[in-house]
Amino acid sequence: MNNPLLQDNVLPPFADIKAEHMVPALEQTLSDVRAGIEQITRAPSFNYQGVLKTREELEDRLQQVWSPIGHLNGVMNSPEIREAHSRGLELLTEYYTEVGQNPELFEAYRAVHESPEFADLEQAQKKVVENALRDFRLSGIDLPEAQQQRYSELAREISALNSKFNNNVLDATQAWRKDVSEEALKGVPETAKALMRQAAEREALEGYLLTLDAPCYLAIMTYCDDRELRREMYLAYGTRASDRGPNAGEFENSQVMQDLMTARREQSRLLGFDNYAELSVARKMARSADEVLQFLENLADRSKGPAKQEYATLCAFAREHNGPDTLEPWDTAYYSEKLKKAAFDISQEELRPYFPAPRVLEGMFEVVRRLFDVEIEKDDSMPVWHEDVLTFEIRRGGTTIARFYVDLYARQNKRGGAWMDDCRVRRTMLSGGLQLPVAYLTCNFSGPVGDDPALLSHDEVVTLFHEFGHSLHHMMTQVDAAAVSGINGVAWDAVELPSQFMENFCWQAESLAFISGHYQGGEALPEDMLEKLLKARNFNAAMMMVRQLEFALFDFRLHVEFDPAIDNQIAAVIEKVRQDVAVVRPPEEYAFQHGFSHIFGGGYAAGYYSYKWAEVLSADAFSKFLEDGIFNRQTGEKFLATILEKGGSEDAMDLFVAFRGREPEVEALLRQDGIAA
């Protein structure tokens, strides 16, 4: 079989890659990589080039095979790709666990670290060695053989459970659908209804097709006058993959979560940690689990009072406008939008015509040009996986320094949410050439309707800037060692700094002037609408703060406290957290945790706090731009040089201090959100 994944391609040949290519390509590449690792360990002496650069070359080839497999599983899911991806995860987990416990390879790294050569290495190279030695120890290199074997079994089990959790959520999301008449959609904007009608037509249905995909779900929850329909969708969404709701017991994640938490706890204890939260923090910017809990609880203490006041205002508004005496969770977004409209005379739907996707992209690229002196141009030579995908290159001084893909719109068999991932990492190859970084930027916005461009809500504009911040972190790096290049090797609780930093430009009059432009006439957002948008920025900010803290505290406390001997502990922990911080309490049948893919299916286990941690970093960093001017070139160049270009080559706190001149202060976030007194 002529396997495109085994060919030497600058970029993945997506049109040629089939599900049947995936596992054979991984098996062949892993066999080659294992042989190469064995050669490394048999060398008569060890140096950086022979050990670390050789391994980097081997594993970059492996990443070039795996990257398109993982990506296609997210954006073009099918039973065949899912099966291949699941098997691929097993193979990769087995390899990385095995190599993490390879005593000969560990000794080779230790020899490099203890050699006279180490003192002469570049900072990034030293960090690669130090991180690798840390990761060897966190992979169980010091454990007795029987415990090493058990660690390996647990790693495979955890990987399989992560995949199963995500598959269950995707299946549960796609299992619920409802064909409704136009009468049921009173209050829903025409743009959203057009997409629902388009979805129905694709399936030869008469009415309007409702699904649990984010654009549809949010449109109903925010605008639909039919309270019972809002309730129905709220419970369908909030009981996905659980033993409750309309698809009770199908694709259920209850046992998956229990098994996953049990395995994580055992794995962390094998390594000498009391709980998984301590193991998680060992690789992060936060210094201890206690520091994380204190950070979250401090924010909760500062935010809950203002959040209660906001909620009381919302309830009073609803009662005054013929709403229910008691607001239910499926009423909150609906009446919040109405209150926002009444208070500021602005709504997301009114803003959409001023944010056509092509104009927003152009404006976003202009922000980056002004900040970092780079040009972004279309690159139609890049192979794509779907006709919606856009492709670009970044140039500096006329030289191409990176490329990226943009996949903006929701569609069937595409995982929900928004994310950035790496396709290629910047590194110096053994041949001496430079491999340029390449990023995937994926969102799930409502697509174009008819001949009109996709019109984004301002919230979606913020999401796009967020993911582009991650992409810039990966692409603007000047580090040539793959393990700490771009987003690699960056402490997980600092990795959101560039993404949340970029969000700020969606709230500045100077940048909104060219990010916005009416899809028909091209005129920028009118001054009165701009003023209303900016005034409304912190609307219900404290309620949103405590909602995020609810997620973060649930995640972290669960990973600190979990004990498999305690029945129904996962539900008990989230209930206790809600008692402590929530102002909007869901009904008993709500089972949000069964769909919480960030912590049960992704990389945020005992790390969801990272969003708030990094929000503090980004708010504090952006306050420097507010002091100097948001497009001050010297400040932009300093942010580029100390944060974006450095990747994971230095400790995150050291890099922040290099930019800001001091450690971060939580007051910056509270001021930004209008919560600080």
Q: How does DSSP assign 342-374, residue by residue?
A: HHHS--HHHHGGG-BHHHHHHHHHHHHHHHH--
What stretches of 536-665 show up as alpha helix (H) in DSSP?
541-561, 569-581, 597-600, 610-628, 633-639, 652-660
| Contact residues for 670 (Cβ-Cβ < 8 A; gap 6+) | 302, 676
With H, G, I as helix, E, B as strand and everything else as coil, classify residue 432.
coil
CB 520 within 8 A of CB 359: no
Q: Which two tokens stand for residue 353?
A: 């015509």
How big is the CA angle at 418 (ends 576 and 25), to the nearest 5 degrees? 110
Complete DSSP assignment for 223-239: H-S-HHHHHHHHHHHHT
C-alpha 255: how far from chain center: 25
H helix or E strand, kind and range, residue 280: helix 276-281
C-alpha 455: how far from chain center: 23
Does residue 467 have an active-site annotation?
A: yes
> What single letter denotes the amino acid at residue 369?
R
Q: Residue 25 and residue 13: Cα distance in Å, rounded?
A: 14
Q: Which two tokens stand for residue 338?
A: 């109405």
C-alpha 244: how far from chain center: 27
- Percentage of the chain lying above the pLDDT 70 cut: 100
Residue with token string 């060890």: 46
With H, G, I as helix, E, B as strand and everything else as coil, classify residue 198.
helix
Q: Which two tokens stand for residue 609?
A: 């706090």
CB 607 within 8 A of CB 280: yes
Q: Which two tokens stand for residue 297?
A: 């609880």
Q: Residue 27 and residue 88: Cα distance in Å, rounded?
A: 9
Other Cβ atoms closer than 10 A to 1 = 9
Q: Residue 631 and residue 650: Cα distance in Å, rounded?
A: 26
Q: Residue 371 and residue 630: Cα distance in Å, rounded?
A: 8
| Contact residues for 643 (Cβ-Cβ < 8 A; gap 6+) | 473, 497, 498, 621, 655, 656, 659
**What structural domains and CATH numbers belong to the chain?**
4-142 (1.20.1050.40), 177-238 (no CATH), 254-346+541-608 (1.10.1370.10), 352-523 (1.10.1370.40)
pLDDT at position 670, please? 93
pLDDT at position 300, please? 96
Q: Residue 413 and residue 551: Cα distance in Å, rounded?
A: 27
Q: Between the CA atoms of 458, 462, 468 and 469, what dihedral angle is there, to the nearest 10 degrees? A: 150
Q: Residue 207 and residue 183: Cα distance in Å, rounded?
A: 10
Strand partners, 395: 375, 400
**Long-range contact pairs involving 202-211 (C-beta distance under 8 Å, separation at least 24):** 205/179, 206/179, 207/179, 207/180, 207/181, 207/182, 208/179, 208/180, 208/181, 208/182, 208/184, 209/177, 209/178, 209/179, 210/177, 210/178, 210/179, 210/180, 211/173, 211/174, 211/176, 211/177
Q: Between the CA atoms of 391, 395, 401 and 405, what dihedral angle is there, to the nearest 10 degrees? A: -10
Strand partners, 419: 442
pLDDT at position 677, please? 56
Low-confidence ranges of the chain (pLDDT < 50): none
Other Cβ atoms closer than 10 A to 627 = 9
pLDDT at position 586, please? 96
CB 556 within 8 A of CB 579: no
Among 467, 496, 550, 615, the active-site one is: 467
C-alpha 390: how far from chain center: 20
Q: Which two tokens stand for residue 526?
A: 């009118």
